[in-house]
Copies of this chain bind each other. A is one copy, B any other.
């Protein structure tokens, strides 16, 4: 399939390009894109500089969010926005940065529901090339139907009540599928921590400027163990990978949620 070979070429070429750049700090991605500094410089020497000094040596070095979390957030952003151009590069970076194949698999599955089936399918098509190249096989992937985590009945009852208030009888199908499979199955799958599911979810919402759903999921993220500092730094990662306006739409929501949290 043509998209497949494209991915292969992007990956290998990207890797070659990075080698040229000679960046090798295992704590940092080798570059901000599958395009090499040289390739970027043929259009914008400034953008090559910002990619190296501001993004790789600046953003990615900040301690407020771990390299592993930044990679998970960045992959979530690209999948959620349907941006496959650098996706293979960032999936490779995520695997190099401590995100497991199992977690990447669950992230794409989770985002099929939060960012649309077609974005997830395009991501699968990129990921399967990277997985194949790294020899990640079926036995290294999450089960289709594993034993699920225990559901939090009180949180679930509150969630159902708020869905009822939002939708009334306008879309019974949406209400049903939100209960099962989304909250009675997907969210309870064991191979991605609730904290990481929340991290991927708020990244997806921020990446697409979907602030209407952000406050609720951000509170859930903080309940699930994401720290307030990490939440604020996700907004910084969003600025670079989803653009400043989406970060400035998310920032005030993070501020409000954090200020309203009981300490």
Q: Which residues on the B side are within 8 Å of A182 (C-beta)? A: 244
* Bound CA–CA A132/B81 (angstroms): 29
A190 to chain B, nearest CB (A): 11
Neighbour of A232 across the interface among B173, B213, B233, B240, CB < 8 A: B173
* Bound CA–CA A98/B120 (angstroms): 27
Q: B54, A177: Cβ atoms under 8 Å?
A: yes
- Per assembly, the copies of the chain total 3
Q: A171, B233: Cβ atoms under 8 Å?
A: yes
Q: B170, A46: Cβ atoms under 8 Å?
A: no
Within 8 A of B (CB), among A103-118: 105-106, 108-109, 112-118
Q: Per-residue CB proximity of A113-140 to B under 8 Å, as 1/0?
A: 1111111111011011001100000100
* Bound CA–CA A84/B210 (angstroms): 22
Q: B44, A170: Cβ atoms under 8 Å?
A: no
A180's nearest neighbour on chain B, judged by CB, is: B54
A165's nearest neighbour on chain B, judged by CB, is: B252
Q: Is residue A215 within 8 Å, beta carbon to beta carbon, of the partner chain?
A: no
Q: Which residues on the B side are within 8 Å of A47 (C-beta)? A: 108-109, 112, 120, 124
How many chain A residues touch the partner (CB < 8 A)? 111
Q: A232, B171: Cβ atoms under 8 Å?
A: yes
Q: A54, B142: Cβ atoms under 8 Å?
A: no
Q: Is residue A72 within 8 Å, beta carbon to beta carbon, of the partner chain?
A: no
Given A47-B109, A116-B242, A166-B252, check contact A236 B171 (CB 8 Å): yes
Given A48-B144, A142-B45, check contact A122 B85 (CB 8 Å): yes
Q: Per-residue CB proximity of A172-208 to B under 8 Å, as 1/0?
A: 1110011001100010010000000000000011001
A234's nearest neighbour on chain B, judged by CB, is: B171
Q: Is residue A71 within 8 Å, beta carbon to beta carbon, of the partner chain?
A: no
Given A171-B251, A171-B254, check contact A124 B81 (CB 8 Å): no
Q: B251, A105: Cβ atoms under 8 Å?
A: no
Q: B173, A233: Cβ atoms under 8 Å?
A: yes
* Bound CA–CA A47/B73 (angstroms): 20
Binding site for B on A (CB under 8 A): 1-3, 5-6, 9-10, 13, 32-35, 39-51, 54-55, 58-59, 62, 64, 77-78, 80-86, 105-106, 108-109, 112-122, 124-125, 127-128, 131-132, 138, 141-145, 166-174, 177-178, 181-182, 186, 189, 204-205, 208-210, 212-213, 231-233, 235-236, 239-249, 251-252, 254-255, 258-259
